[in-house]
Amino acid sequence: MSKDADVMTLYSFTMTVLTFLLGELEQMMYVLFALMVIEFISFAISKSINGGLSLRDISIEISKKALILIMVAVANLLDKVIPMGFSIKDFTIIFYIFYEMLYIITHVSSSGLPVPQFVKDALDLLKNKMKK
């Protein structure tokens, strides 16, 4: 087999496994991916401004992102095993979308930039609802 065929085979296999684990990549999943990237960048900038970014910090943050994807995969598999009238995966994705938004705002705030009060209020409301 040629090198191109090997790469395409590996790509196809990887995408098949990811689709099985994470389910169909819908709009909410793309939003979660985007927010994970934005949160990571805001984390790195905030750490750089406030005292230095270490390789350990980066590896911990990447590990957290991997754990979020693992939780989405578990929720997707639960949907397959326990059919309900709603999607556990969708609720899990929504939870982590709000989680990422909260941390983006936290990083922006800790970097010294002002955050609009209405954004803080909305996130406080969401934070309180997520605790319940």
CB atoms within 10 A of CB 86: 8
In a domain, 11, yes or no: no
Tell me whether residue 96 is in a domain: yes
Across the chain, where does the E strand assignment appear? none
Whole-structure pTM value: 0.79
Cα dihedral sign, 74-23-65-107: negative
Does residue 1 belong to any structural domain of this protein? no
Q: What is the pLDDT of residue 3?
A: 78
Q: Which domain holds residue 81?
A: 25-131
Q: Is residue 8 part of a domain?
A: no
Mean residue pLDDT of the chain comes to 88
Does residue 13 belong to any structural domain of this protein?
no
Residue 1 has pLDDT above 60, yes or no: no
pLDDT tens digits, one per residue of 35-58: 999 999 999 999 999 988 899 999
Which residue shows structure tokens 């803080």?
Answer: 120
Domain total for the chain? 1
